[in-house]
C-alpha cells in the first residue's frame, strides 16, 4: 500500500513539473539613452555614432585588452617634451641630447644621453659649471637652466645612510647629505655635488591620448664639473642610461612603470628617438651582454669577427662596450690595424690628411661627392651581424665633399667602444631584463610616436606609438563592445537538476517525498 501511494505521488509530481523555463533579459548599451539617468553628473555623454562615441568605446577596449594580457602595469615612456633627441655638432661634442623636465614646478634641462654611465646629473647651485647662456653656443635658441633643490617642492635630500649613497670618506655621519663624485673616461672629466631625489616628468604613449607620469628618481645636484664638461660637452647635464641601480631606466623598471629596457635611435640628419620600456620590433637581431668581472656593470658584447666589404678578417674577435656617450668608435689595436689596412685597399680615394683630424686614414675623393665606401660588418654568435654602411666622417666645403676619414681610432687593451657614429641608422634596444642588445635598421621616423588606430576612414592621428606597438594595435579589428563568454555547461546530471530546482517549488515537494520514503 505504501509503495502504491508513493508511486501515485511521483506520477502527480511528474505531471505537475513544468517544461524547463528559459530566462531572458534585454541588453542596454552603455551609451544608450536609458543609461543617461545613472551617468555621473559631470560625466561626458557622447552622441551615438559621433567621433567621441567611437573614441570612448575604443579607449575602453584598449584598457580591457591591457588588463587581460597583464599589460596595464607597463607603459612606454618618453620625456615630457617628446621622444626626440638631437645632435648639436661640435659645440656639444657630437653627442645626442634630449630635453627633460625635473622638479615641482618643473624646470627643463638639455641633457646628453650616456649609456656608458648610470647617474643623471644636472648643473645645480653651481660652484664650477659650464656657461648656460645661449649666446655662448651657436646652436641654441634659449638659455640653459640651473637646478636648485630649494626651489623644487618635490625635492628630497639623500642622506649618507641611503642605500644608493657610496659611503666614502666624505660621509662623516649617517644623517649627513650624501655627496657624489663621478669620473669619466675622458681625461680629467668629472661631476661632483650632492645626491637628491626629485620628480622626472615623463609621458606615456600607450593609450589614445598621452598621459603624464611623474617618476621619482635620484639625481646628482652637480655643483662642480671639470674637464670636457666645462668645454661644451653636456653643459646642462647628463642622463645616465647604464645598468646600475642609480640610472633612470632602473628606477622606472623597479617602480613597475616599464619593462626593463629602453631604445635609442640615431638618424643621419642628427635627429633621433628615445623610449623607455621599448623591447623592439619582433624582427630584430640580438646578442647577449657579457659580464665584466662577474658583474653586468656596463653594456658589453662580444664580437666574433669583422668584415670589410666582402672580405672577412681573421683573428679579429674582441669585446666592445656599447656607449652612446662616446661620439666615435675605438677598437683594440690589432683589430684596428687589420680593418684600416683592408679599408685602405678597397676605398676609392687618394690618401691624404686634414688639419685637426684625429683620424689616421683619410682620403680626398675624385669628385665633390662621397664615393661608395666599403661597409664594416661586426658578426656575433649565431651568425648575427651588425653592418656599418658608412664607417667614415665626411668633411664638407662650399662646393661639396672635400674629404673623408675612417672614423675609428685604436685603443690600448682588448676592450673597444662602439660610439654614436656606428649606431646611426639603427634602432638599438638595450634589453636589460633579458641581458641582450637588439638592433634593427630604422630611419627613426617610424618611432616618432607614430600612428594610432584611426577612428574613422578619413582621420589622421599623431599619437605616439613605436612601430611594433602600432602593429599590435592594428593587427585585427576589435568590436566596440564584446560580451563576456558564457561559462561551460556542467557535465554532471545531478548538478543540472539541483541548479534547476533552486527556482522551482515543485522540486522541494519532490525532495520531500524522497525523504519520507527513505524513512519508511
What is the pLDDT, as a whole number, of residue 143? 96
> What is the per-residue pLDDT across 171-210, written as a single tens digit (0 to 9) for each?
888 889 999 999 987 778 999 999 999 999 999 875 445 6
- DSSP-derived secondary structure letter, 178: P
What contacts 24+ positions apart, CB below 8 Å, involve 207-213?
Answer: 207/59, 207/62, 207/63, 208/55, 208/58, 208/59, 208/62, 208/452, 208/463, 209/463, 210/463, 210/464, 212/80, 213/75, 213/77, 213/257
What is the pLDDT, as a whole number, of residue 229? 94
Asked whether the beta carbons of 262 and 438 are under 8 A apart, the reply is no
What is the pLDDT, as a whole number, of residue 66? 40
Cα distance between residue 153 and residue 373, in whole Å = 55
Q: Is the pLDDT of residue 479 over 90?
A: no
Give the lowest-confidence range in 1-15, 106-120, 289-303.
1-15
**Catalytic annotation, pick one of 198, 236, 260, 323:** 323
Position 447 confidence tier, pLDDT thresholds 50, 70, 90 = low
Same fold, 75-274 and 283-439: yes
List the one residue out of 198, 201, 219 whose CA is nearest residue 123.
219
> What is the per-residue pLDDT across 116-133, written as a single tens digit (0 to 9) for each?
999 999 999 999 999 999
Q: CA–CA distance from 192 to each of 94, 108, 189, 282, 473 (Å)?
A: 23, 20, 10, 41, 45
List the one residue out of 52, 212, 43, 229 whose CA is nearest residue 126.
229
What is the pLDDT, as a whole number, of residue 89? 84
Q: What percent of the chain has pLDDT over 70?
A: 70
Give the residue carrying C-alpha cell 683619410: 362
- DSSP-derived secondary structure letter, 133: -
- DSSP-derived secondary structure letter, 424: B
What is the pLDDT, as a whole number, of residue 500? 35
Asked whether the beta carbons of 124 and 148 are under 8 A apart, the reply is yes
Other beta carbons within 10 Å of 218: 24
Over residues 489-507, mean pLDDT: 35
What is the pLDDT, as a whole number, of residue 72? 43
What is the pLDDT, as a whole number, of residue 30? 58
> What is the per-residue pLDDT across 102-119, written as a single tens digit (0 to 9) for each?
999 999 999 999 999 999
Cα distance between residue 494 and residue 515, in whole Å = 17
Considering Cα of 79, then 81, then 84, then 89, what sign does the dihedral take?
negative
What is the pLDDT, as a whole number, of residue 213? 93
What is the pLDDT, as a whole number, of residue 371? 87
Cα distance between residue 48 and residue 333, in whole Å = 70
More confident residue, 20 or 375: 375
CA triple 39-41-42, angle to 5 deg: 110
Position 459 confidence tier, pLDDT thresholds 50, 70, 90 = very low
Fold of 283-439: Cathepsin D, subunit A; domain 1 (2.40.70)
What is the pLDDT, as a whole number, of residue 398? 86
Residue 362 gets the label, from left (phi > 0), alpha (psi -120 to 50) or beta, of beta
Grid cell in block for residue 30: 552603455
Q: Is the pLDDT of residue 296 over 60?
A: yes
Considering the domain 75-274 in this protein, what is its CATH number?
2.40.70.10
Over residues 1-16, mean pLDDT: 51
User: Burial code of 404-443, b = ≥16 C-beta within 10 A, e = fewer?
Assistant: bbbbbbbbeeeebbbbbbbbbbbbbbbbbeeebbbbbebe
What is the pLDDT, as a whole number, of residue 27? 59
Q: Is the pLDDT of residue 423 over 60?
A: yes
> What is the DSSP pairing of strand 120-128 with strand 107-114?
unpaired
Query: Exposed (0-12), middle (13-18) or buried (19+): which is 381, by Cβ within 10 Å?
Result: exposed
pTM of the predicted protein model: 0.72
Position 472 confidence tier, pLDDT thresholds 50, 70, 90 = very low
What is the pLDDT, as a whole number, of residue 16? 52
Over residues 43-72, mean pLDDT: 50
Query: Exposed (0-12), middle (13-18) or buried (19+): which is 261, by Cβ within 10 Å?
Result: buried
Over residues 15-20, mean pLDDT: 52
Angle between helices 505-519 and 493-501 (to 10 degrees): 120
Q: Is the pLDDT of residue 444 over 60?
A: yes
Q: Is the pLDDT of residue 44 over 90?
A: no
390 is catalytic: no
Residues comprising the chain, all counted: 520
What is the pLDDT, as a whole number, of residue 67? 36
Over residues 300-327, mean pLDDT: 93
Q: Is the pLDDT of residue 141 over 70?
A: yes
What is the pLDDT, as a whole number, of residue 354? 87
Domain range annotation of the chain: 31-66, 75-274, 283-439
List the one residue out of 401, 399, 328 whose CA is nearest residue 371.
401
Give the lowest-confidence range in 36-50, 314-328, 346-360, 380-394.
36-50
Average of per-residue pLDDT values in the chain: 78
> What is the per-residue pLDDT across 253-270, written as a single tens digit (0 to 9) for each?
999 999 999 999 999 888
**Catalytic annotation, pick one of 101, 114, 118, 446:** 114
What is the pLDDT, as a whole number, of residue 75? 77
The strand ranges marked E within 227-284 are 238-240, 261-266, 271-276
What is the pLDDT, as a whole number, of residue 34? 60
Give the lowest-confidence range in 56-60, 130-134, 167-171, 321-325.
56-60
What is the pLDDT, as a whole number, of residue 29? 61
Q: Is the pLDDT of residue 215 over 70?
A: yes
446 is catalytic: no
List the one residue out of 220, 217, 221 whose CA is nearest residue 199.
217
Q: Is the pLDDT of residue 291 over 70?
A: yes
Q: Is the pLDDT of residue 153 over 90?
A: yes
What is the pLDDT, as a whole number, of residue 50? 60
What is the pLDDT, as a whole number, of residue 323? 93
What is the pLDDT, as a whole number, of residue 210? 65
Amino acid at each position: 500500500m505504501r509503495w502504491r501511494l508513493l508511486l501515485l505521488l511521483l506520477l502527480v509530481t511528474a505531471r505537475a513539473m513544468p517544461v524547463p523555463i528559459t530566462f531572458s533579459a534585454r541588453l542596454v548599451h552603455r551609451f544608450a539613452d536609458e543609461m543617461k539617468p545613472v551617468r555621473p553628473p559631470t560625466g561626458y555623454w557622447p552622441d551615438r555614432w559621433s567621433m567621441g562615441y567611437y573614441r570612448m568605446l575604443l579607449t575602453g577596449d584598449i584598457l580591457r585588452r591591457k588588463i587581460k594580457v597583464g599589460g596595464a602595469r607597463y607603459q612606454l615612456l618618453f620625456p615630457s617634451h617628446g621622444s626626440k633627441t638631437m645632435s648639436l655638432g661640435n659645440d656639444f661634442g657630437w653627442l645626442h641630447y634630449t630635453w627633460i623636465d625635473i622638479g615641482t614646478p618643473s624646470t627643463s634641462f638639455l641633457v646628453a644621453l650616456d649609456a656608458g654611465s648610470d647617474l643623471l646629473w644636472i648643473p645645480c647651485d653651481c660652484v664650477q659649471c659650464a656657461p648656460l647662456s645661449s649666446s655662448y653656443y651657436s646652436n641654441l635658441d634659449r638659455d640653459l637652466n640651473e637646478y636648485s633643490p630649494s626651489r623644487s617642492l618635490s625635492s628630497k635630500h639623500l642622506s649618507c645612510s641611503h642605500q644608493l649613497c657610496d659611503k666614502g670618506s666624505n660621509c662623516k655621519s649617517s644623517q649627513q647629505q650624501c655627496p657624489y663624485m663621478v669620473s669619466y673616461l675622458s681625461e680629467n672629466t668629472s661631476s661632483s655635488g650632492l645626491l637628491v631625489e626629485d620628480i622626472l616628468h615623463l609621458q606615456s604613449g600607450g593609450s589614445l591620448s598621452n598621459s603624464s607620469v611623474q617618476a621619482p628618481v635620484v639625481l646628482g645636484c652637480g655643483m662642480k664639473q671639470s674637464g670636457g664638461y666645462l668645454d661644451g660637452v653636456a653643459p646642462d647635464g647628463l642622463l645616465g642610461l647604464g645598468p646600475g641601480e642609480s640610472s633612470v631606466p632602473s628606477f622606472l623598471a623597479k617602480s613597475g612603470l616599464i619593462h626593463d629596457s629602453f631604445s635609442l635611435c640615431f638618424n643621419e640628419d642628427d635627429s633621433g628617438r628615445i623610449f623607455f620600456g621599448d623591447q623592439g620590433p619582433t624582427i630584430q637581431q640580438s646578442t647577449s651582454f657579457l659580464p665584466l668581472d662577474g658583474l653586468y656593470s656596463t653594456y658589453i658584447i662580444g664580437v666574433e669577427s669583422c668584415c670589410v666589404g666582402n672580405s672577412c678578417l681573421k683573428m679579429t674577435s674582441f669585446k666592445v662596450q656599447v656607449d652612446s656617450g662616446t661620439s666615435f668608435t675605438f677598437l683594440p689595436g690589432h683589430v684596428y690595424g687589420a680593418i684600416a689596412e683592408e679599408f685602405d685597399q678597397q676605398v676609392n680615394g687618394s690618401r691624404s690628411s686634414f688639419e685637426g683630424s684625429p683620424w689616421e686614414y683619410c682620403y680626398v675623393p675624385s669628385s665633390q661627392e662621397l664615393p661608395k665606401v666599403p661597409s664594416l660588418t661586426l658578426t656575433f654568435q649565431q651568425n648575427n651581424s651588425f653592418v656599418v654602411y658608412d664607417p667614415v666622417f665626411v668633411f664638407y666645403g662650399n662646393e661639396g665633399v672635400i674629404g673623408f676619414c675612417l672614423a675609428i681610432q685604436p685603443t690600448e687593451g682588448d676592450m673597444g667602444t662602439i660610439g654614436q657614429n656606428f649606431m646611426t641608422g639603427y634602432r638599438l634596444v638595450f634589453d636589460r631584463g633579458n641581458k641582450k642588445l637588439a638592433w634593427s635598421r630604422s630611419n627613426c621616423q617610424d618611432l616618432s610616436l607614430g600612428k594610432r588606430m584611426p577612428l574613422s576612414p578619413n582621420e589622421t592621428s599623431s599619437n605616439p606609438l613605436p612601430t611594433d606597438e602600432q602593429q599590435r594595435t592594428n593587427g585585427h579589428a576589435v568590436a566596440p563592445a564584446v560580451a563576456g563568454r558564457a561559462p561551460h555547461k556542467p557535465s554532471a546530471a545531478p548538478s543540472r537538476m539541483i541548479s534547476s530546482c533552486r527556482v522551482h517549488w515543485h522540486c522541494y515537494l519532490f525532495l520531500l517525498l524522497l525523504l519520507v520514503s527513505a524513512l519508511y
